[in-house]
Structure 1
Amino acid sequence: MSSPNSWYETLTSTPALVAGAIGVSIAAIFAVGGTNRTAGQVKEQVKEVAHTLATAEDSKGKTAQVAASVMSAPSTELAPPKDDPITPSQLSQFDGSDPSKPIYVAIKGRVFDVTAKPEMYGKGRGYNIFAGKDASKGLGMSSLDIKDAVPDYSSLNETQMHTLNQWESFFEKRYNVIGKVTSE
Structure 2
Amino acid sequence: MSARERAAEAAGEVRDPEMPMLTLADLGVLRGVEMERGMDGGETVVAWITPTYTGCPAMATMRDDLVHRLNDAGFPRVEVRVVLDPPWSSDWISERGRAALRAAGLSAPGPARRASGPVALTLGPPRRAPDCPRCGSAATRLTSEFGATACKALYTCTGCLEPFEHVKEI
TM-score, scaled relative to structure 2 = 0.23
Greater relative contact order (CA < 8 Å, ≥ 6 in sequence): 1
Larger helix percent: 1
Larger strand percent: 2
